[in-house]
Amino acid sequence: MGASVGMARCPAILIAAPASGQGKTTVACALARLHARQGRRVRVFKCGPDFLDPYWLALASSAPVHQLDLWMTGEADCARRLHAAAQEADLLIVEGVMGLFDGQPSAADLAQRFGLKVVAVIDASAMAGTFGALAWGLQHYREGLSFGGVLANRVASPGHAAMLEDSLRDPAQWLGALMRNEALTLPERHLGLVMDHELGDAMARLDAAADALAATRLGQMSGDDLQAWAVDFQSLDAPEHGLPAAALQGRTIAVARDAAFCFLYAANLDCLQAIGARLAYFSPLADDSLPDCDALWLPGGYPELHAETLAANTAMKSSITAHVQAGKPVWAECGGMMALFDEIIDIHGVSHPMWGVLPGCVTMQKRLAALGPQQLDMPGSTLRGHTFHYSTCATPLPAARRTQVAPGRSLRGEGEALYVSGSTGAVKASYFHAWFASSPAAAAGLFLKEHHD
């Protein structure tokens, strides 16, 4: 790890919960929107791999949202991003993942490493006195956590709120209650929250949540109050990746970005540009051809929800086929890979023809097929990332290599396959979602002809 290269001080809050589905995203968005409306510069981060929550968090804060994960992104990467944000912001908010102590590493590990003040959100809709026990347990389960208090969510009435507050052993931990209100709910679907641009009332929902939070003790904390939760963030020298900054200099990467292909880490885009690439965005749904490019990136998303439109856009299919036949590199991950196969069979059993670059069929299912942090060993380096999908694929293609589960995690069955195809082996596809900054060298190799098995 590198040496210290500076310090920045800023209030920093981790929005946590005892489990998933308690309302962390709603509260994090409400807090960000509330302070942004008051003129403060707010930067929000998401703990762990996630593509959907950051869209809402970015909308609420009017700033890019990056991931923090002590394993996938790495401790030094987390330190640098927090330090950079602290230099320009009045408030940092980190949305946790799952329950506070779930996962290896957990949101609690992140909070403890960087001294973040933990605010616990508890869905109190079906409890009274037990609320106090949960709050006490979250605060005291692990020594060394800086605990800021607890917020009750989905509360039935002011009387219910009073019961919850009375259940706390330490009244100072009470940060208020959010009443049950469907207008504050951010809709969900099978891979998480729906995209904000799919809801015409997205900002209205965020403003409603901010207004509700403004009535709580947490929402009434002033800028001066928040200074009591300030943290000193120390940056670290970047680790050596053995990669010249110009690894992709002069190369244009076409990046699919629309409602069907929307799972893009902002940090991945930054990484490609930092090593010289020019990014040209296009829509496989709406455009009839690829932009002029040297390589193609098809990120994850929801091709199954837009299968009819993708199938009808035969001009785009022809353009992608021509790109592949010219031997130009393609990196396709999860949803991007799904669209490269011959067909997708949706959840209703209906078959939709896809682009036919890879032989085989993708079948949607209601049960989660794979989930968890994984890594992909590439020549001379390793990419870290994760997998999360509800489909399976059947293909005659052999796996050129497979991902490995993160240390300390268990793996059911085999890791995700990396499929390599095309006349020069330039087409690479996998269910694996890569975090490019974990190895810019390996990331560059995905978009270069000379890097193939």
Which CA distances in Å does 385 have to 27, 68, 436? Answer: 27, 12, 8
- Measuring CA to CA, which residue among 48, 19, 256 is closest to residue 153? 19
| Amino acid identity for residue 281 in this structure | Y
- Spot the catalytic one: 10, 29, 334, 393: 334
Position 142: which residue type?
Answer: R
Q: How far is CA 452 from CA 71, 330, 428, 445, 448, in A?
A: 27, 11, 9, 8, 8
Contact 280, 255 (CB under 8 A): yes
Rounded alpha-carbon distances, angstroms, from residue 295 to 132, 209, 426? 55, 42, 9
Q: What is the DSSP letter of 176?
A: E
Strand 295-298 relative to strand 252-256: parallel, antiparallel, unpaired?
A: parallel
* CA-to-CA dists, residue 440 to 105, 242, 247, 380, angstroms: 23, 9, 9, 12
Q: Which DSSP category does 263 fall into?
A: B
How many CA atoms does the CB half-sphere of 374 hold within 13 Å? 25
Query: How far apart, in whole angstroms, are the C-alpha atoms of residue 80 and residue 86?
Result: 10
| Burial (Cβ within 10 Å: 0-12, 13-18, ≥19) of residue 369 | middle
Instruction: Mark whether 334 is an active-site residue.
Output: yes
Q: Cβ–Cβ contacts within 10 Å for residue 285, how many?
A: 17
Q: Measured between alpha carbons, how far is residue 76 from residues 4, 214, 323 in Å? A: 11, 35, 38
- Segment (H or E) for 340: helix 335-340
CB distance 277 to 251 below 8 Å: yes
User: Pairing between strand 361-364 and 330-333?
Assistant: unpaired
Kindly list the catalytic residues.
334
